[in-house]
């Protein structure tokens, strides 16, 4: 029975201690709870600040990308206009090239005709002519006395 009495006495001591420590313990627990609440509030506040900063950064990035997009669209528009202008200019130049090729061909035919006429009019001169004078259609040995206006040929 002695073990029962010691148990009862330790139980009584424990209960008397908890009764004495109860206000201190409760005060400590209340203090911890308040600190935890304050810590949680501060953590939530920091989280809201971080979230707002992230949203501000994203908003700034959106504005920057919109500006960049506008600039790129302007550059694209100007490049497209330049392309259209260059295509039109290229078309004109190709037409001019074909016209000049046609004129060159016609001039070649005229020279051939002039050479054949010169050879027909003066066959002895053509037979005895050197290679350089054979191509001298407009030179001193030529049968043509007036210059030819090539633009009238077209």
Q: What does pTM read for this prediction?
A: 0.47
Share of the chain above pLDDT 90, in %: 53
Inside any domain, residue 73: yes
3-state secondary structure 29-59: HHHHHHHHHHHHHHHHHHHHHHHHHHHHHHH
Inside any domain, residue 41: yes
User: Between 95 and 12, whose confidence is greater?
Assistant: 95
Specify the pLDDT at position 23: 81
Specify the pLDDT at position 22: 84
Query: Looking at the 3D structure of the chain, how many domains does it have?
Result: 1
Q: Which two tokens stand for residue 47?
A: 């989280």
Share of the chain above pLDDT 70, in %: 64
Specify the pLDDT at position 137: 46
Q: What confidence tens digit (pLDDT) does each residue in 140-151 have?
A: 454 555 555 555
Please, which residues have CB within 8 angstroms of residue 111's CB and are 6 or more apart in sequence? 137
Inside any domain, residue 66: yes
User: Between 114 and 56, whose confidence is greater?
Assistant: 56
Phi, psi of 88 (to 5 degrees): -65, -45
Inside any domain, residue 45: yes
Inside any domain, residue 31: yes
Inside any domain, residue 129: no
At CA 79, angle to CA 74 and CA 82, rounded to 5? 130
The domain in which residue 26 lies consists of 12-91
Inside any domain, residue 24: yes
Q: Which residue has the tokens 């302007």?
A: 74
The average pLDDT across 9-15 equals: 50
Range with the poorest average pLDDT among 19-23, 60-64, 80-84, 94-98: 19-23
3-state secondary structure 73-142: HHHHHHHHHHHHHHHHHHHHHHHHHHHHHHHHHHHHHHHHHHHHHHHHHCHHHHHHCCHHHHCCCCCCCC
Answer yes or no: is pLDDT of 134 > 70.
Answer: no
């Amino acid at each position: 029975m002695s073990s029962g009495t010691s148990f009862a006495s330790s139980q009584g001591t424990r209960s008397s201690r908890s009764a004495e420590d109860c206000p201190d313990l409760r005060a400590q627990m209340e203090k911890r709870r308040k600190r935890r609440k304050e810590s949680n509030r501060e953590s939530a506040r920091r989280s809201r600040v971080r979230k707002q900063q992230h949203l501000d950064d994203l908003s700034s990035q959106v504005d920057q990308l919109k500006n960049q997009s506008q600039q790129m669209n302007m550059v694209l528009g100007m490049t497209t206009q330049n392309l259209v202008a260059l295509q039109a200019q290229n078309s004109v130049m190709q037409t001019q090239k074909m016209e000049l090729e046609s004129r060159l061909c016609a001039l070649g035919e005229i020279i051939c005709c002039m050479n054949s006429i010169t050879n027909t009019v003066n066959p002895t001169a053509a037979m005895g002519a050197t290679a350089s004078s054979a191509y001298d259609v407009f030179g001193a040995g030529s049968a043509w006395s007036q210059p030819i206006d090539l633009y009238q040929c077209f």
